[in-house]
């Protein structure tokens, strides 16, 4: 009897979150699926069924294909760069020395800032105008100024650089928490067996960082695929559509152009893409977990 009451209490406590999830996630997702096969828009408030026409238009649209490619490239590079740097700094700052806590705070501080604030800040730093701080530093050392945000080959990577700077400290803190939970005797045993520092890292530290790595990789990958704020603040998807992402294109077509059904089709493609990539990454991580246990 006591167990049933406890289960009922737990279910009641979870009920508000479940209702919110159904209202604010499941219902809009189902509506997106429904509207994606219609011609609903600002100009056609009464929707009619058009089948897969929106999806055919989407995959024939160069801007849409470029946005999907940019999002995948952005997410993959972001995931690798952020996690490699975060692991490096976590291992480095996990050692006991006087400035360790101060450095941890400095590395983590950018994650406290709004993405839009960081975007506008770096837009003023990277601008090719005479006031651009970064180009002025380059000129001071005798270099030629670089069009960071106006060059189609550099714009996306300039945005990416700012986000790696902002979120590496956040991932680093999670890796440090994982390192603190590892039994120190494992490292001591490896050193007694004659393992070099690199062998200790690859054979002991990295495998035991699996919990933090799996979480950080998935979060940075999904966050990279959803990127909108920084791109909007720094480049608006330009020049041309060199830095367009799925989210910027979806929002511009849905809200600015009024092509609501087309934007819903984009949302469906985005959902399928995130689900597929997440499943692939989870499969790889599970294989890694099985190999180290």
Over residues 122-159, the pLDDT tens digits come to 999 998 888 889 999 999 898 888 999 999 999 999 99
- d(CA 153, CA 209) in angstroms, rounded, equals 35
What pLDDT is recorded for position 26? Answer: 87
Q: Are 151 and 219 in contact (CB under 8 A)?
A: no
The pLDDT of residue 157: 94
Contact 213, 38 (CB under 8 A): no
**What confidence score (pLDDT) does residue 198 get?**
86
Predicted confidence at residue 55, as pLDDT, reads 92
pLDDT at residue number 213: 92
Residues of the chain scoring pLDDT < 70: 1-2, 293
**Residue 2 has what pLDDT?**
66
Does residue 267 contact residue 250 with C-beta atoms inside 8 Å? yes
| Residue 227, token pair as written in the block | 């990127």
Q: Which pLDDT score, from 0 to 100, does residue 1 have?
A: 53
Rounded distance, CA 277 to CA 93, Å? Answer: 32
Please give the domain boundaries of the chain with CATH numbers for all domains. Answer: 63-117+147-292 (1.10.3720.10)
Question: Tokens standing for 70?
Answer: 């940019």
* Residue ranges of E strands in 180-250: none
Residue recorded with tokens 């791109």: 231
Mapped onto helix, strand or coil, the DSSP state of residue 73 is: helix
Q: Residues, the chain, total?
A: 293
* Structure confidence at residue 72 (pLDDT): 92
Tokens of 122: 């770096």
Task: Give the pLDDT confidence score for residue 293 in this predicted structure.
Answer: 64
Helix (H, G, I), strand (E, B) or coil at 152: coil
- Is the CB of residue 126 less than 8 Å from the CB of residue 132? yes
pTM, rounded to two decimals: 0.87
pLDDT value at residue 204:
85
CA distance 157 to 20: 37
Residue 189: both structure tokens together = 């045993």
Task: Find residue 38's DSSP bridge partners.
Answer: 49
Query: DSSP string of 97-143?
Result: -TTHHHHHHHHHGGGGS-HHHHHHHHHHHH-SSTT-HHHHHHHHTTP
């Amino acid at each position: 009897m006591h167990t049933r009451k406890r289960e009922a209490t737990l279910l009641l406590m979870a009920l508000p979150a479940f209702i919110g999830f159904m209202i604010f996630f499941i219902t809009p997702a189902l509506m997106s699926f429904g509207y994606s096969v219609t011609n609903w828009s600002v100009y056609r408030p009464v929707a009619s069924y058009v089948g897969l026409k929106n999806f055919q238009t989407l995959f024939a649209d160069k801007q849409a294909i470029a946005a999907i490619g940019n999002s995948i490239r952005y997410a993959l590079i972001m995931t690798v760069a952020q996690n490699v740097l975060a692991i490096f700094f976590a291992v480095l700052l996990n050692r006991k020395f006087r400035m360790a806590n101060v450095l941890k705070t400095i590395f983590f501080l950018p994650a406290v800032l709004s993405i839009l604030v960081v975007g506008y800040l770096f837009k003023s730093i990277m601008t090719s105008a005479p006031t651009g701080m970064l180009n002025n530093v380059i000129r001071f050392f005798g270099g030629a100024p670089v069009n960071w945000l106006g060059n189609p080959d550099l714009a996306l990577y300039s945005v990416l650089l700012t986000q790696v700077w902002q979120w590496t400290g956040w991932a680093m803190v999670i890796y440090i928490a994982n390192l603190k939970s590892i039994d120190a005797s494992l490292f001591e045993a490896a050193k007694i067996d004659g393992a070099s520092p690199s062998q200790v890292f690859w054979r002991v530290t990295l495998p035991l960082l699996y919990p933090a790595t799996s979480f950080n990789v998935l979060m940075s990958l999904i966050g990279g695929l959803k990127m909108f704020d920084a791109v909007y603040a720094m480049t608006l998807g330009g020049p041309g559509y060199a830095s367009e992402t799925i989210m910027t294109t979806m929002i511009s077509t849905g809200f600015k152009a009024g092509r609501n059904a087309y934007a819903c089709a984009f949302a469906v493609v985005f959902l399928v893409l995130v689900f597929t990539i997440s499943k692939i990454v989870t499969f790889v991580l599970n294989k890694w977990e099985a190999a180290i246990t």
